[in-house]
């Protein structure tokens, strides 16, 4: 599917709730499936990736009832397998394009002796590395059969022992997989990271009855197994990664003001807001007085014509890794050279995002280049119409749409985006929501 987008002929204005947080939606469904009893989940993202997790846990024996809510989210009721354990499915589990589904399942299923499960995925997911997850799990006693470290991977359930693992990458998926395996292992399991990654798992596990010990100074999270999970109810906040695209659109389209309520404001997810603030963006954040596990609040973003360049350090990247493509679009309109350091992880996402960002921006007339793990963008640039390719990557599809809205010049200038249907992975209503805000 091709998308044809022209510069916005007017400002983006209004109040809009973006879809539920994808990371939390995955975890809430999987944790509920692992638990004893019935969990009620509201605000769950209805997207291709989350549907992959729902199908996966259903094929493993959880009872899942997902109903559409008026706001487009899902109300999901999950009866978990609890102490009974998952069943071996009759066919392979297709994880689609969802790295979170596949990697978290590797950890969640590794500690069930007698269980045999094969995980597959689409062409893109089948190129993404799985050894970063299976290697520490094998140290715990897990057994896998894989294709050169990629999907398909067959999980052969085994008895596990706890581990103290120093992760070479700050990855919430790796951390979560190891901690979930630790719940089935004997003794303590700890994951130590070089920088703090998303901590949704550490915040959510206690709601399911699992004690998590954290040492903030060393970026360490620990559980002690074996541990049983119990059902609970979870309200999923709006996704800050999805909100980022509308925030940047408001900053770049003249006279815009966009208000986004109920957004998850977990500090490990809001690095993009801190970077935009350094660049001079007109953004207000109001926290809700909410005792929930996840902080949430309202983001207001206004047109900011005088953005300036900044340097994003490697230590900041885990808190904004999914927002680098849209931050790169903002950087193209900022004065000076914006430098992203330590972004090599983007080369093993749904696409090689680092190369794709350079290729896409270069096609639009922006000076951009990258090394193995550094991205530099020189602005301010006049974004020119071009034909670009999402490469099947939802973040790129949305970033190029925002770039098109911010193009300067005649209203008939047009950006053509190939494989735009990739937005279904995380934000199926993206174009509709832009239309509600006044994009034409």
Calculate the CA dihedral of residues 295, 298, 303, 306 and round it to 10 degrees.
Answer: -30
Which residues fall within 8 angstroms of residue 418, CB to CB, at 6 or more apart? 2, 387, 388, 389, 390
Res. 33 pLDDT band, cuts 50 70 90: very high
Q: Specify the DSSP class assigned to residue 83.
A: G
**pLDDT tens per residue across span 293-331:** 789 999 999 999 999 999 999 999 999 999 999 999 999
In the predicted model, what is the mean pLDDT of residues 87-101? 96
Nearest Cα to 250, choosing from 437, 418, 3?
Answer: 437
Catalytic residue among 322, 389, 393, 424: 322
One fold for both 3-19+238-436 and 22-223? yes
Nearest Cα to 204, choosing from 78, 293, 105?
Answer: 293
Supply the pTM of this predicted model. 0.93
CATH number of 3-19+238-436: 3.65.10.10
Domain map (residue ranges) of the chain? 3-19+238-436, 22-223
CATH number of 22-223: 3.65.10.10
**When comparing pLDDT for 111 and 409, which is higher?**
111
Active site residue 418: no
Q: Does an H or E element contain 351, and which?
A: none
Res. 408 pLDDT band, cuts 50 70 90: confident
């Amino acid at each position: 599917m091709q998308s044809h987008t022209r510069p916005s002929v007017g400002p983006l204005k209004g109040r809009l709730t973006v879809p539920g947080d994808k990371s939390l939606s995955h975890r809430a469904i999987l944790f509920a499936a692992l638990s004893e009893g019935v969990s009620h989940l509201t605000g769950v993202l209805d997207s291709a990736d989350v549907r992959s997790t729902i199908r996966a846990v259903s094929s493993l024996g959880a009872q899942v009832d997902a109903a559409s809510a008026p706001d487009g989210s899902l109300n999901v009721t999950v009866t978990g397998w609890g102490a009974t354990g998952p069943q071996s499915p009759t066919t392979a589990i297709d994880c689609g394009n969802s790295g979170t589904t596949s990697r978290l399942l590797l950890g969640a299923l590794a500690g069930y002796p007698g269980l045999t499960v094969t995980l597959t995925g689409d062409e893109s997911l089948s190129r993404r590395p799985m050894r970063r997850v299976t290697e520490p799990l094998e140290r715990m006693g897990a057994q896998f059969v894989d294709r050169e470290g990629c999907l398909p991977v067959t999980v052969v359930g085994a008895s596990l022992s706890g581990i103290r693992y120093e992760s070479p990458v700050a990855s919430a998926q790796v951390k979560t997989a190891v901690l979930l395996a630790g719940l089935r292992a004997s003794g303590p399991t700890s994951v130590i990271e070089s920088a703090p990654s998303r901590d949704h798992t550490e915040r959510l596990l206690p709601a399911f009855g699992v004690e998590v010990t954290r040492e903030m100074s060393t970026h360490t999270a620990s559980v002690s197994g074996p541990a049983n999970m119990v059902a609970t109810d979870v309200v999923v906040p709006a996704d800050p990664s999805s909100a980022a695209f509308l925030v940047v659109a408001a900053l770049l389209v003249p006279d815009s003001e966009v208000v986004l309520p109920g957004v998850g404001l977990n500090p490990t997810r809001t690095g993009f807001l801190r970077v935009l603030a350094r660049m001079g963006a007109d953004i207000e954040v109001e926290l809700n007085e909410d005792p929930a596990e996840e902080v949430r609040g309202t983001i207001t973003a206004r047109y900011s014509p005088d953005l300036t360049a900044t340097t994003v350090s490697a230590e900041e990247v885990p808190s904004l890794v999914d927002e680098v493509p849209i931050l790169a679009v903002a950087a193209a309109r900022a004065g000076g050279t914006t430098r992203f350091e330590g972004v090599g992880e983007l080369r093993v996402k749904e696409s090689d995002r680092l190369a794709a960002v350079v290729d896409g921006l270069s096609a639009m007339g922006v000076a951009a280049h990258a090394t193995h793990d550094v991205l530099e963008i020189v602005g301010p640039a006049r974004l020119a119409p071009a034909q670009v390719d999402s490469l099947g990557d939802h973040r790129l599809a949305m970033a190029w749409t925002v770039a098109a809205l911010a193009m300067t010049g005649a209203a008939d200038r047009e950006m053509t985006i190939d494989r735009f249907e990739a937005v279904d992975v995380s934000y199926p209503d993206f174009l509709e929501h832009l239309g509600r805000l006044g994009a034409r």
